[in-house]
Structure 1
Amino acid sequence: MQKAIFVTEVGKPVSLGTRPIPAPGPEEVLIKVSSTMLFPHDTYGRDMGLFIGKKLPFISGGDIAGVVLKVDDNVNKYTVGQHIYGQGRMLDPTPDSAGLQEYAILRPDFSALVPLGFTVDQLVTLPINATTSFSALFHQNWFGFTPPFPSVEQNSRSNYAEETIVIIGAGSNVRKLAI
């Protein structure tokens, strides 16, 4: 068993409890959590039930970092003992892939090694901030710039020298990544 912090009732304080340590399934890695990032929607979930109202008890913390403890046989990307960080199941959150517990599951395709010179606390902010920045710049419903790499549909790149954008408040992580 492991300790975890649960949202058990919308609008009430979180509580400490226990739950089983998850076992990695196909294409998954078990980590000992060393850092997690809480998002604004984690607070809205606890306070108003946003995204989690029907999934109680719920464990928050979508971006996770930690040390690899177990690797599924089909995973060649990591070995036991490596420090990795990544994004839990943001679109289909499960308790196994949340960060406010001692052990969590990450998928290799949504994670990476912690590079030298960085801390897990720095990198645990990267997945959601990089995704948000990329989406804001290149998603067709937002700025809609052509992504800086060829896609199946488009084989040319934008001439960014002809594009203009002003980024206000460049001190935030999302805006730093946009620059």
Structure 2
Amino acid sequence: MDSGRGDGGTARDRDGEGRARNARPRDGLGRPLPYGAPGVERQPEGVVRAPEESVGEAQALLDAGRPFHAHEVFEDAWKSGPAAERALWRGLAQLAVGLTHAARGNPTGGVRLLRRGAGVLAEWRRDGGGPRPYGMDLVAVEGWALGLAGEVEANGRAIDPARRAPRLS
């Protein structure tokens, strides 16, 4: 990845194909760190996985307290999967971002995205998506999201994302 930093910092970072992509290292919650700082390994973008593989990889990242990175796995599934499943993966990505915001100490963003993601999953189920796609218990995941949203809204404090990660199945 070319950092594009040869012109006083005004050039955008680009990936190998010329697409804009921030090359700054990131912490475990996806926050950018200064260039040269040690960060956590980033999730590769644009990976096409089997749905069960996406669920397993995202769960491992959630369990490790890395919901931002889990969101990237869900986003890949959303972008590469069949149109009929896009709302499923989008809702899961929103939940992961909501957990990220809640862990970063942004209760407004966390609550909003947790509730939005739960609503997307509920709508997807009502529209015929089913309650247990790829072994996930969407009813339980929706309940987790709404419960956590209420807790974050009430106390406004940052949460530990690994301790509060959902069980997808």
TM-score bracket for the superposition, by shorter chain length: under 0.3
- Higher strand proportion: 1
Higher relative contact order (CA 8 A, sep 6+): 1
- Higher helix proportion: 2
Between Structure 1 and Structure 2, whose CA radius of gyration is higher?
1
Q: Could you state the TM-score of these two structures normalised by the residue count of structure 1?
A: 0.26
